[in-house]
Amino acid sequence: MYNSWEELKKDCMGCTKCELCRTRTNLVFGTGNENAEVLFIGEGPGQNEDLQGLPFVGRGGQLLDKFLAAVDLDRNKNIYIANMVKCRPPQNRDPLPAEQEACIGWLREQVRLMRPKIIVCLGRISAQKLISPDFKVTKQHGEFIEKGGILFMGTFHPAALLRNPNQKPDALEDFLKLKEKIKEICERTY
């Protein structure tokens, strides 16, 4: 258990709890406002993220930033962004269950320190790990589910939206629902 982001980040940056530590260039701890009420969680770093040490900095990240901006959210101001695993899986394969299990402790500590009101799962990997193992993004996107005092919502992964642009209107609807929910229950976000 950590009492400060500084200590947590320092220990996390040296993590060797799973094999992904061997192939990383940079560990991607997360970015944004550590006091945010809204936390976004992706899957894991891709190539650009691994090279820069920051989450969602490639094409998917640019698209994510557009959706965020559409609802007055900004990774440099009022949200935080992290991933299920903090080191890049080779060839961008899905992180293995064992890797997710090894890594989730770091995310738990981030959540404990941040105490977000809302967690948005970007894509199947984080939604199935954090909401329910059989979560189906195409069916359950945009639904808010309460767990342990935090509201969870799953939506499309930006990379999926790049592959299937026809899902963008549905994704935008999810972000608009998120905005309404934030207005309802958050105090410092807008």
Position 30 contacts ligand URA (CB under 6 A) = no
Position 45 contacts ligand URA (CB under 6 A) = yes
Alpha-carbon distance 179 to 173, whole Å? Answer: 10
Of 26 and 132, nearer to ligand URA (C-beta) is 26
Of 45 and 116, nearer to ligand URA (C-beta) is 45
Binding segment for ligand URA (CB under 6 A), chosen from 12-20, 54-62, 135-143, 146-154, is 54-62
Position 102 contacts ligand SF4 (CB under 6 A) = yes
Alpha-carbon distance 70 to 26, whole Å? Answer: 30
Position 103 contacts ligand SF4 (CB under 6 A) = yes
Q: How far is the CB of 142 from ligand SF4 (least distance, A)?
A: 29
Query: Scanning residues 137 to 166, which ones bind ligand URA (CB under 6 A)?
Result: 159
Query: If we measure between CA atoms, which residue out of 153, 102, 98, 94 comes closest to residue 127?
Result: 153
Choosing from 44, 95, 116, 154, the residue that interacts with ligand URA (CB under 6 A) is 44
Position 87 contacts ligand SF4 (CB under 6 A) = yes
Of 49 and 99, nearer to ligand SF4 (C-beta) is 99
Binding segment for ligand URA (CB under 6 A), chosen from 37-45, 128-136, 162-170, 171-179, is 37-45
